């Protein structure tokens, strides 16, 4: 089954403790993105990747890092999480950058930083 898999689904952590949220897709897609969703602010893009070893900042990249060492994986790294990074995170992938292309989203990771 074609899917985007995120882990973990739920995470509670403390301020400053490094964490990684993993994202994996099995569709051989080139394009992958991370979004965060906050009440009243909608979904905002954090980082995106056009292919292996090619990443760029989205709208809200501060406090986050990403890497794309393999085509299927696109982990989101929070080196020193802070409470304002408490949010619902989604990973997405798509086969191309054409405007007619659909995106596939993971189930989400609910992160709480205390």
Partner 1 sequence: DAKTTQPNSMESNEEEPVHLPCNHSTISGTDYIHWYRQLPSQGPEYVIHGLTSNVNNRMASLAIAEDRKSSTLILHRATLRDAAVYYCILRDVGGSNYKLTFGKGTLLTVNP
Site residues for partner 1 per CB under 8 A: 4, 31, 33, 42-43, 45, 48, 50, 56, 58-59, 90, 92, 97-108
| CB 91, min distance to partner 1, A | 8
* CB-nearer residue toward partner 1: 48 or 64: 48
Residue from 69, 101, 95 nearest 2 by CA: 95
Residue with tokens 């490094």: 18
* CB-nearer residue toward partner 1: 73 or 104: 104
Distance between CA atoms of 29 and 16, rounded to whole angstroms?
33
């Amino acid at each position: 089954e074609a899917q985007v898999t995120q882990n973990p689904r739920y995470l509670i952590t403390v301020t400053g403790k490094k964490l990684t949220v993993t994202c994996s897709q099995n569709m051989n897609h080139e394009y992958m993105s991370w979004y965060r969703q906050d009440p009243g602010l909608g979904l905002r893009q954090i980082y995106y990747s056009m292919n292996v070893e090619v990443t760029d900042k989205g709208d809200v990249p501060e406090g986050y890092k990403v890497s794309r060492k393999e085509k299927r994986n696109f982990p989101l790294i929070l080196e020193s999480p802070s409470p304002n990074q408490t949010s619902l995170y989604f990973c997405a992938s798509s086969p191309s950058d054409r405007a007619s292309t659909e995106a596939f989203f993971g189930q989400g990771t609910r992160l709480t930083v205390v």
